[in-house]
Amino acid sequence: MKYFTADLHFGDNEIIEREWRPFKDIKEFEDVFVENVNKMVGEADELYVLGDWINYNAGHHPDPDEAFAIVRRLNPKVILIMGNGEERVLREVYGNDFEYMRNKLKNHGFYDVLKDADVEIGGIKFHLIHCPMDHKKDCLNLFAHTHRGTGLWKPFGFNVCADLNYFRPFTEANILAMVETKKNYWDKDPDTNCM
């Protein structure tokens, strides 16, 4: 089975305040997220994290090794899609050497690190990206980056940010249910067609 999440922002308390997450600090969030994942997802499953595993931005530079090592606490095979946090680490820490960073993260325990990916769920193709502006037009997309700001749905796909699913991964069944809701309701709603 495949599972999906994004925008975890491990390594720095700034995200707790900025996104009004209901945790006292990033460590409490980490513990709850790890527990949520490990209750749902097994070792044979894949967890796609669509970017921003690490909270690495202007003024916030947690130790990448510590933040990425959290992956060892998770049961599933974790595939990281690069987000803007990882892109900053790539530039500022790893000298823009993607293969070096990819191998380093695989040594930490990630199953793989990719810039984007395509998967099939229930016979439907999905493109996996971090930033919604990078979506493909010929398929549905799973994306993140905007946290709660743009909501769960866009005409081109679905936002899988952890903040939108009670800090639990989205399941394949969740994604397929959103596809049906999109087709039967959201795509027909004139108030949403201006997006």
pLDDT tens-place string over residues 140-150: 999 997 776 67
CA gap 55, 63 in Å, rounded: 10
The pLDDT value recorded for residue 140 is: 93
Q: Per-residue confidence at 87, pLDDT binned at 50, 70, 90?
A: very high
What are the tokens at 110? 């990630």
pLDDT, tens digit, for every residue of 32-85?
A: 999 999 999 999 999 999 998 887 777 778 688 898 999 999 999 999 999 998
Higher pLDDT: 180 or 192? It is 180
Ordered structural domains, the chain, with CATH: 2-188 (3.60.21.10)
DSSP state of 82: P
d(CA 28, CA 23): 6
Is the pLDDT at 194 greater than 60? The verdict is no
The pTM for the full model equals: 0.93
